[in-house]
Amino acid sequence: MRTTRRTPRTGRSRRTRRLAVALGLLTATAVAVPGAAAAPNRAVEPEQLAAVSNSVLSAQVNGTAWYVDQANGRVVVTADSTVSPAGLAKIMHAAGPASSTLTIHRVPGVLATLLAGGDAVYGGNYRCSLGFNVASGNTAYFLTAGHCGNLASTWYTDAAHTTQIGPTINSTFPNHDYALIRYDNSALSHPGGFTSAPDAYVGEPVTRTGSTSGTHTGSVTGLNATVRYTDGSIVTGLIQTNVCAEAGDSGGPLYEGTKALGLTSGGNGDCTIGGTTFYQPVNAALTRYGVHLD
């Protein structure tokens, strides 16, 4: 999986229907890197920005995340505390003459996938959280993070593994970050309440619920972000936000009202200092598994 912290299961469990897991989190305080261009470049062609984004990927610097800000003609890069000056120079060099389109933000902490939790589901020696209840026909499932689904074949409501929920049906991580778990225990409730899964938009007010930090709000700051976690795992197509999160919030739901938006995928920081978080769009998981919101 990765060299991130993995918190063993604890005895603290709560009702399955409130579960929400968190893979990883990024800190909120951004510091501009000297030499990184900051002025808008609105005249830059989309093809050039796409090429610069690809160059950041090709630089292969762990602990970074980036997205294209088409409106301002920028490629916005977030670099965590593990990224050295040489790593930043490598990114700038990879962009070549187009490096003037880069805006690089330094943040404290480590951009990583994290396993912990509180209001959680348990698999193996770890706990993760439920994102959204979904269904196909008469069969009920829930979605969570793919890095969680990779860890266990069976899930439970408690750390002692006394109340079984059901098996992992499918899981994808890296590249994407979603997993599908089936409810095999008819005694468990799986309430819905979310009515649609539209695409997020920049500036959208959002809420995130996590098993460790509870419920917090913020807004969408970027779309189609790519994250390269500190272990080298890459996830693409993510929603970037300024909502705080903590270890154990992985897989938890991002939403606006009754609109389901995403599953917590990664970042760093906490809800004292703040953070930047990344989310797997939920509509991609619904399409991949052929399920609908319950």
Per-residue pLDDT at 24 exceeds 60: no
Per-residue pLDDT at 6 exceeds 60: no
Which residues of the chain are in CATH 2.40.10.10 domains? 1-28+109-289
Cβ(257)–Cβ(263) under 8 Å? Answer: no
Of 80, 99, 147, 216, catalytic: 147
Is residue 270 helix, strand or coil? Answer: strand
Q: What is the pLDDT of residues 80-116, one digit of tens each?
A: 999 999 999 999 999 999 999 999 999 888 887 654 4
Q: What is the pLDDT of residues 263-288, one digit of tens each?
A: 999 887 889 988 899 999 999 999 99
Q: What is the pTM of this model?
A: 0.81
Q: Give pLDDT, residue 197.
A: 97
Q: Give pLDDT, residue 110.
A: 85
Of 129, 211, 250, 265, catalytic: 250
Rounded average pLDDT over 221-241? 95
Of 177, 233, 249, 270, catalytic: 177
Q: pLDDT band at residue 294, thresholds of 50, 70 and 90?
A: confident
* 67 Cβ neighbours under 8 A, 6+ residues apart: 53, 75, 76, 222, 223, 224, 225, 226, 240
Span 30-106: which CATH code?
3.30.300.50
Count the neighbouring beta carbons within 10 Å of the beta carbon of residue 170: 15
DSSP letters of 16-43? GGG---B--BEES--EEPTT---S--TT
Q: What is the pLDDT of residues 129-159, one digit of tens each?
A: 889 999 999 999 999 999 999 989 999 988 8
Q: pLDDT band at residue 18, thresholds of 50, 70 and 90?
A: very low
**Per-residue CA distances from 285 to 91, 147, 199 (Å):** 31, 14, 13
Q: Is 105 a catalytic residue?
A: no
Q: Is 189 a catalytic residue?
A: no
The proportion of the chain whose per-residue pLDDT surpasses 70, expressed as a percent, equals 83
Average pLDDT, the chain: 84
* Topology of the domain comprising 1-28+109-289: Thrombin, subunit H (2.40.10)
Rounded average pLDDT over 241-252? 87
Q: What is the pLDDT of residues 182-226, one digit of tens each?
A: 999 999 888 888 999 999 999 999 999 988 888 999 999 999 999
CA of residue 160 relative to chain centroid, distance: 27
- Rounded to whole angstroms, how far apart are CA atoms 169 and 92? 42
Which residues of the chain are in CATH 3.30.300.50 domains? 30-106
